[in-house]
Structure 1
Amino acid sequence: MKLSFPFSAIVGQDEMKLALLIAAIDARIGGVMVFGDRGTGKSTAVRALAGLLPPVPVVDGCRYNCAPGGSATCPAPEAHRPGKATMPVPFVDLPLGATEDRVVGALDLERALGHGEKAFEPGLLARANRGFLYIDEVNLLEDHIVDLLLDVAASGENVVEREGLSVRHAARFVLVGSGNPEEGELRPQLLDRFGLSVEVRTPQDLAQRIEILKRCDAFEREPERFVDGWHKAERKTLKKIARGREALPSVTVPDAVLSLASQLCIAVGADGLRGELTLMRSSRALAALDGDDVVGPKHLARVAPMALRHRLRRNVLDETGSTVRIERAVAELLAA
């Protein structure tokens, strides 16, 4: 089995790693959009997190990755078999040239024409169920495909209607998109649908760049030995995620924090209510990750740039970046 680079061994990129951990705690946040330079470890980080998580129990032979116990929306007869198995957390890399049929699934024409059966061939969304769906250069993907993916990611269900055939199956995954803004902008309406947005840049610190080179070289030369060396740190991160998932339902968000979230969205001019919902969910997930029972202003302050920077209108009278505007607004509100 091919080994993944350890999540704990990734140098820097703290905001990206935190956003991925938050999304792993609560998938309802709506995925992560990563903007940044090429070769900064975006896909490596997502693969590493998927590889870190424990195998998921599945129905043996189910092509939709259904959990044992049966799924009301699973269209496959094998989903009701008693057999159980486990599989690594799915990681699906969606290619830019993927057609809609390949993404959502397609009618098996060979069986339809040859045997008169309306058979459905699951797509990439079925493969990604209960795992991660990664799209590199999402800003170059056709808008209708991106819109479709965001709809499914929000609903947790894929519905396909082809040639009189209607198929419905679970498609719950963490959607992660990455892109370089210099190669094309993602439509604001679509960008707003991502839960969190992070920015990654090529490290400018010499010591950090050297450490990255050393770790990459060590992993390429002796991957098993390198992974073993990070086993303890990986187990620590895994336990933190498990505790966070377990604690999430019991974490409370006081009215004072909800009020602060709304005031912040008003102050920075965020459109709609997605910003506030994401602030609430992501700050709660962060509190669970940190082992706190109650969400406080400190949690809100940490997630605010990730939750809001891609939802702001451009202010022609303010030349500062969106991150600076959000941090300034947070500081003013907390000081009041």
Structure 2
Amino acid sequence: MARFPFSAIVGQDEMKQALLIAAVDPAIGGVMVFGDRGTGKSTAARALASLLPPISAIQDCPYGCSKDDQARYPDVCGTGPLRKRPVPFVDLPLGATEDRVLGALDLERALRSGEKAFEPGLLAKAHRGFLYIDEINLLEDHLVDLLLDVAASGENVVEREGLSVRHPAKFVLIGSGNPEEGELRPQLLDRFGLSVEVRTPGDIESRVEIMRRCAAQEADSQGFADDWADEDAKVLRRVDRGRKRLVSVTIPDAVLHKAAELCMAVGADGLRGELTLMRAAKALAALEGAKTVGQAHLVAVAPSALRHRLRRDVLDETGSTARIERALDEVFA
């Protein structure tokens, strides 16, 4: 069955924007999507991964390395010519062990030939693609720590059972969860670049359109995908052009000052807020074809870049999104 087209997803504009920003600039630090069940969280992530163009990878490399990776990691990369392969999309199950995630000794090979060899884990398979964790708030804390460390450094280091392996592991980390089933620890949530709130559509028209499109996809998935192929191609061109423009997009000092003012106004902890706000606004500007980041880009990404970095205020229980909107009104008045 063909995957549900990214452009056919009804509504959820903030989630789609965050995923596109992460696709343009993976250094953003991943996307956390909290919201109701059945609102298209995993569908959107899978659709974006399948939409992106194939990557060029070393033919015999177990990590899907590029030529640049091969130069940096000659001991682990394979050999052979470059060949095209789909952008990886790896699901990390909640019950996964540390060995399954990081990689471990290849026991079958060790028993058969007595040779110590490394069996790559899920992080290796996700290199240059997406690592998706559903119900991440139920994942064991030590695994979340490991994942975030690897996502930040771009490489996985395994030293155990007589093995010492260092391999590339650059991926966009996407986590989703339902707040009713438990919250993610604040210090871990802060490590995600963007945080998105997804809600069940509140209008009849959107709900009816979702039913129509789901029914059409179930009846003829390939035909439905073909119907949306042109729209998906437009999204793909936006991402491709955005990646190429990203380096040349400039950020005026006035916009940087506004970003700092906004973070101070909402009481964001640390400096990750400013840095993520700057990167996300720059990526959005690149997506839209702008040469310079403007205040409109800053306003558009502020909720997703800052809502998970606010200190809890016992005197203000209106919610982080409402606090950010008030601060935007003050700073950009």
Q: TM-score range by the shorter chain?
A: over 0.9
Contact 2:106/2:116, CA 8 A, preserved across alignment: yes
User: Secondary structure of the equivalent of 1:193?
Assistant: coil
Contact 2:137/2:182, CA 8 A, preserved across alignment: yes
Q: What is the aligned partner in structure 1 of residue 30 from structure 2?
A: 31
In structure 2, the gaps of 5 or more residues are none
Q: What is the aligned partner in structure 2 of residue 222 from structure 1?
A: 220
Structure 1 residue identity aligned to 2:76:
A
CA deviations on 1:65-94 (whole Å, 9 max, x unpaired) are: 1114624225435x2x23221111100010
CA–CA separation in structure 2 for the residues paired with 1:189 and 1:13: 26
Following superposition, the deviation at residue 328 of structure 1 comes to 1.0
Q: What is the aligned partner in structure 2 of residue 311 from structure 1?
A: 309
Following superposition, the deviation at residue 63 of structure 1 comes to 1.1
Structure 1 residue identity aligned to 2:73:
T
Contact 1:29/1:278, CA 8 A, preserved across alignment: yes
State which drifts further: 4-13 or 112-121: 112-121
Contact 2:276/2:305, CA 8 A, preserved across alignment: yes
Contact 1:66/1:74, CA 8 A, preserved across alignment: no
Q: What is the aligned partner in structure 1 of residue 11 from structure 2?
A: 12
User: Secondary structure of the equivalent of 1:64?
Assistant: coil
CA–CA separation in structure 2 for the residues paired with 1:287 and 1:315: 32
Q: What is the aligned partner in structure 2 of residue 158 from structure 1?
A: 156
User: Secondary structure of the equivalent of 1:57?
Assistant: strand
CA–CA separation in structure 2 for the residues paired with 1:240 and 1:122: 33
CA deviations on 1:75-123 (whole Å, 9 max, x unpaired) are: 435x2x2322111110001000000100010111233344231100000
Contact 1:74/1:168, CA 8 A, preserved across alignment: no
User: Mapping of 1:7-156 within 5 angstroms?
Assistant: 7-68=6-67, 70-73=70-73, 75-76=75-76, 79=78, 81-156=79-154
CA–CA separation in structure 1 for the residues paired with 2:289 and 2:99: 43
Aligned residues: 332
State which drifts further: 192-201 or 159-168: 159-168
Q: What is the aligned partner in structure 2 of residue 292 from structure 1?
A: 290
Contact 1:74/1:169, CA 8 A, preserved across alignment: no
Q: Confirm or deny that 1:175 pairs with 2:173.
A: yes
Following superposition, the deviation at residue 218 of structure 1 comes to 0.5
CA–CA separation in structure 2 for the residues paired with 1:223 and 1:109: 41
- CA spacing shift, 1:75–1:123, aligned 2, 3 Å: farther
Following superposition, the deviation at residue 61 of structure 1 comes to 2.5
1:270 equivalent among 256, 268, 271: 268
CA–CA separation in structure 1 for the residues paired with 2:140 and 2:212: 38
In structure 1, the gaps of 5 or more residues are none
User: Secondary structure of the equivalent of 2:296?
Assistant: helix
CA–CA separation in structure 2 for the residues paired with 1:322 and 1:84: 47
Following superposition, the deviation at residue 237 of structure 1 comes to 0.6
CA–CA separation in structure 1 for the residues paired with 2:80 and 2:162: 31
- CA spacing shift, 1:74–1:307, aligned 2, 3 Å: farther
CA–CA separation in structure 2 for the residues paired with 1:121 and 1:164: 13
CA–CA separation in structure 1 for the residues paired with 2:13 and 2:218: 23
Structure 2 residue identity aligned to 1:254:
P
Following superposition, the deviation at residue 319 of structure 1 comes to 2.3
Following superposition, the deviation at residue 162 of structure 1 comes to 1.1
CA–CA separation in structure 1 for the residues paired with 2:274 and 2:73: 31
Structure 2 residue identity aligned to 1:13:
Q
CA deviations on 1:153-190 (whole Å, 9 max, x unpaired) are: 11111111112211011111110000011101110010
Q: What is the aligned partner in structure 2 of residue 334 from structure 1?
A: 332
TM normalised by structure 2 equals: 0.97
User: Secondary structure of the equivalent of 1:66?
Assistant: coil
CA–CA separation in structure 2 for the residues paired with 1:75 and 1:256: 47
User: Secondary structure of the equivalent of 1:169?
Assistant: strand
CA–CA separation in structure 1 for the residues paired with 2:108 and 2:215: 47
Following superposition, the deviation at residue 37 of structure 1 comes to 0.6
Contact 2:76/2:167, CA 8 A, preserved across alignment: no
Q: What is the aligned partner in structure 2 of residue 258 from structure 1?
A: 256
CA deviations on 1:10-62 (whole Å, 9 max, x unpaired) are: 00100000000000000000000000011100000000000100111111131
Identity rate, percent: 70
- CA spacing shift, 1:75–1:203, aligned 2, 3 Å: farther
Q: What is the aligned partner in structure 2 of residue 213 from structure 1?
A: 211
Contact 1:34/1:42, CA 8 A, preserved across alignment: yes
TM normalised by structure 1 equals: 0.96
